[in-house]
Amino acid sequence: MSRVYNFSAGPSALPEEVLNQAREEMLEWRDSGMSVMEMSHRGKFFSIIADELEQDLRELMAVPENYKVLFLQGGATAQFSMIPQNLLRGKTKACYVNTGAWSEKAIKDAGNYCEAVLSASSEDTRFTTIPDVAGWRVDPDAAYLHYTSNETIHGVEFQSIPDSKGLTLVSDMSSNILSRPVDIGKFGLIYAGTQKNMGPAGVTVVIVRDDLIGHAPKSVPQVFNYADQAKNGSMLNTPATYNWYLVGLVLKWLKAQGGVAAIEQRNIAKSRLLYDLVDKSSLYRNPVEVPYRSRMNVPFILVDDALDKPFLAAAEANGLFELKGHRSVGGMRASIYNAMPEAGVKALCEFMAEFERTH
Amino acid sequence: MSRVYNFSAGPSALPEEVLNQAREEMLEWRDSGMSVMEMSHRGKFFSIIADELEQDLRELMAVPENYKVLFLQGGATAQFSMIPQNLLRGKTKACYVNTGAWSEKAIKDAGNYCEAVLSASSEDTRFTTIPDVAGWRVDPDAAYLHYTSNETIHGVEFQSIPDSKGLTLVSDMSSNILSRPVDIGKFGLIYAGTQKNMGPAGVTVVIVRDDLIGHAPKSVPQVFNYADQAKNGSMLNTPATYNWYLVGLVLKWLKAQGGVAAIEQRNIAKSRLLYDLVDKSSLYRNPVEVPYRSRMNVPFILVDDALDKPFLAAAEANGLFELKGHRSVGGMRASIYNAMPEAGVKALCEFMAEFERTH
């Protein structure tokens, strides 16, 4: 068949231009005589790719000079352990805000290394809102304050950076990194798996302020130590080289789109199309409070869940794939990351309107 | 330029057939409407890829039923920590054999979790041999005995499985997995990064006997716990999906070559060509004792090291790349993994003979 519109929550759709370039360079990158995936990570060819990758990310996100940019393995999930191991710096507590499934996982793993203080939670609303920052219980003895900037399963997103009340701010930005401008200077550390807005799965980006690293206990293995990884250009051991290259292609594509500020405008427009349709419909419903709705992940239910299966089947017949919601919440979910073109969202909206008319 | 012969120690040359197939399927895998790297790891398309990957590896390596096959992230280096965390099972010691740089790294990281008992070492010979197994000091209270089956930097390889004297045998097979048949049943656990004989960097294969897992302390995060990963089909979090796919293509290529026994014959022939040339030469020299020479990594020095630079320059001019030895030992190194065709080794031998004649 021809290429479909793919609304997967991650791994997710990539820009077709990126796939085309990867295809063209598959057997030989530039004049190197070899595929990127065959290159020594310490060789002259891959060094160019690695340098451009970091430089492009620094440029796109306006990363200040006093921050290190790391490209690691293990996904955001490995960071749930690496963050307390590296950032506790002798303290015994860290604060966490619980706004959904990903926050919960981060909290659970932090508990292996420290007391994970629950500063706020929206669990009582089934994660359809974000607790008012004014009410967050922030412990001044905590090493940092952690929150998840976008919850992919519940479709809840922070629309601004919360006041950390003096604590070092740490954020899991896996599912909305590069979708909107962010003032990195307000954070101690941000991290993100690449498989949503940055490329294929297999790389985890960590951006961390200089002064926070180098304080991990000696018992933390080098490969899990930010300072050691930073000293070695994230090449303490062999990195996922081809994945770095693909992330680099996505960053160059994003620059060609006008960068993060430009893509934010498109993300606003795309998500508005979909939320407007859902809100005007009597068949579809999104339970998230309007100010906290995610621009990246739009979950919705059909008020008659007997229509779920016919909806999904008809969607696929119309070239609209991966719309089934996460098993823990049911219903549908359309993930519309940077690489989803407006045409894909329009096609979905037209299909949903037509489905409602005929059911 | 056209594609060169690439003797990189890893990431390293891949079969051209694999790259061609990856190129053809880049924009759409089979009739899925999407690239493999865009697929949800839990979706119906990727499930096929994941299932075939495990099945093909089990078949190629004749993995017994009572072993789990895991596909993880972080490289063999992450395993240096995961192995003691998972396999100590309440014990406080593990035995390690030191045959080179990679053994040393494994030993260092194990020290974070237990007493790493040094059972034997060839450090006093500068790692040009393997200590006689009869003399290994094996502590019966140790949880396991670890060795590195092939040392990429020093070019030293175990030609048979050592007697573990009753201990659970664990081996880092990163650089010779799938290059020769191995009786998995003799091991408790083997592991390997994929970037030498199995595909691109970014996946770590762990094959572990059932009864050894499920005993890790609760403080080990799920993502680093073999039992939890096994329960979740190595998808506790998003795996490096595209890398899995590429490893899968390499495995299918290997099956088409006749499997591991057939490729072993080619590896014997290829390495013999090169060692014969070196041994007959008065310019080149390999310091490793003959019975322990690696079939995968052939390090050699030029007796006049003033010729190193001219040698490398002339090699590149002849389409022979990545021959520079590891910085810690100097000289040259030709890595000739499964994907290096005999024609590549012959071209190298012809060049080396010609270089000797003219210098």
Looking at chain A, the whole-number percentage of residues with pLDDT higher than 70 is 100
Does residue B343 share a domain with residue B267? yes
Asked whether residue B238 is marked as a ligand-binding residue, the answer is yes
Domain identity same for B55 and B120: yes
Q: Look up the CATH number of the domain holding residue B314.
A: 3.90.1150.10
Cβ of A201 and B77 within 8 Å?
A: no
B222 neighbors B235 (Cβ within 8 angstroms): no
**Which domain-ending residue is among B256, B275, B290?**
B256
Structure tokens at B177: 């997995």
Domain annotation covers residue A51: yes
| Predicted local distance difference test score (pLDDT) of residue B312 | 98
- Evaluate whether residue A195 is within a structural domain: yes
pLDDT reading at B1 higher than 80: no
Mean pLDDT computed over every residue of chain B: 97
In terms of domains, do B251 and B317 share one? no
In chain A, whose CA is at the least distance from the CA of B2? A33
Is A23 an interface residue toward B (CB < 8 Å)?
yes
Nearest CA of chain A to the CA of B74: how many Å?
5
Judged on CB neighbours under 10 Å (0-12, 13-18, 19+), A330 is middle
Pairing relation of β-strands A67-72 and A145-148?
unpaired
Angle at B124 between CA B122 and CA B130, to 5 degrees: 20
* B-contacting residues in A 224-253 (Cβ below 8 Å): 224, 236-243, 246
Low-confidence ranges of chain A (pLDDT < 50): none
> Is A55 inside a domain boundary?
yes
Same domain, A81 and A149: yes
B98 is in an annotated binding site: no
In a domain, A312, yes or no: yes
Q: ipTM surpassing 0.95, yes or no?
A: yes
Between CA A209 and CA A188 the distance in angstroms is: 5
Q: Are residues A328 and A248 in the same domain?
A: no
- In terms of phi and psi (left: phi > 0; alpha: psi -120 to 50; beta: otherwise), the region of B331 is left
- Interface probe for B, chosen from A115, A242, A245 (most Cβ of B below 10 Å), is A242
pLDDT single digits (tens) B310-326:
999 999 999 999 999 99
> pLDDT tens digit string along B270-317?
999 999 999 999 999 999 999 999 999 999 999 999 999 999 999 999
Nearest CA in chain A to B43: A322
Structural domains of chain A, count: 2
Q: Rounded to whole angstroms, how far apart are CA atoms A322 and B159?
A: 49
Question: Which run of H or of E encompasses B208?
Answer: strand B204-209
Same domain, A75 and A196: yes
What pLDDT score was predicted for residue A2?
87
Catalytic residue numbers of A read 102, 172, 196
Q: Which of A2, A43, A81 sits opposite B322 (nearest CB)?
A: A43
> Which band of pLDDT confidence, cut at 50, 70 and 90, is reported for residue B196?
very high
Q: Which residues of A touch B249 (CB under 8 A)?
A: none
Determine contact, residues B297/B175, Cβ cutoff 8 Å.
yes
Residue whose structure tokens are 């489905």: A355
Res B162 pLDDT > 90? yes
Residue with tokens 């409602």: A356
Min CA distance, A109 vs chain B (Å)? 6
Indicate whether B6 belongs to any domain: no
Tell me if A322 and B31 make a contact (CB, 8 A cut-off): no
One domain, residues A172 and A320: no
Rounded Cα gap, residues B359 and B352, in angstroms: 10
Using the beta-carbon criterion (under 8 Å), do A200 and B76 form an inter-chain contact? no
Tell which of A239, A256, A273 closes a domain: A256
Q: What is the pLDDT of residue B328?
A: 87
Query: Is A175 found in the same domain as A232?
Result: yes
CATH of the domain at A90: 3.40.640.10
Does A221 contact B81 at a Cβ distance shorter than 8 Å? yes
Q: Is residue B11 part of a domain?
A: no
B288: containing domain = 259-358
Asked whether residue A249 falls in the same domain as residue A297, the answer is no
Q: Do A241 and B39 touch (CB under 8 A)?
A: no
Whether residue A120 sits in one domain with residue A47: yes
Q: Can you tell me the mean pLDDT for B219-247?
A: 97
Predicted confidence (pLDDT) per residue in B4-56, tens digit: 999 999 999 999 999 999 999 999 999 999 999 999 999 999 999 999 999 99
A236 and B4: CB-CB below 8 Å? no
**Residues B313 and B248 both lie in one domain:** no
Measured torsion, CA atoms of residues B131, B134, B135, B140, in degrees rounded to the nearest 10: 120
The answer for A 110-139 residues in CB contact with B (under 8 A) is 112
Residue A3 lies in a domain: no
Asked if residue B235 belongs to a domain, the reply is yes
| Chain B contact for A256 (CB, 8 A cutoff) | no
Asked if the C-beta of B19 comes within 8 angstroms of chain A's C-beta atoms, the answer is yes
B84 touches chain A (CB under 8 A): no
- What pLDDT score was predicted for residue A327? 87
Q: Give pLDDT, residue B327.
A: 87
B341 touches A at CB < 8 Å: no
Does one domain contain both B131 and B238?
yes
Looking at beta carbons, which residues of chain B come within 8 Å of A38?
6, 8, 11-14
Q: Average pLDDT of B91-99?
A: 98
Contacts of B202 in chain A (CB under 8 A): 73, 202, 239-243
Give residues with Cβ within 8 angstroms of A44, minimum separation 6: none
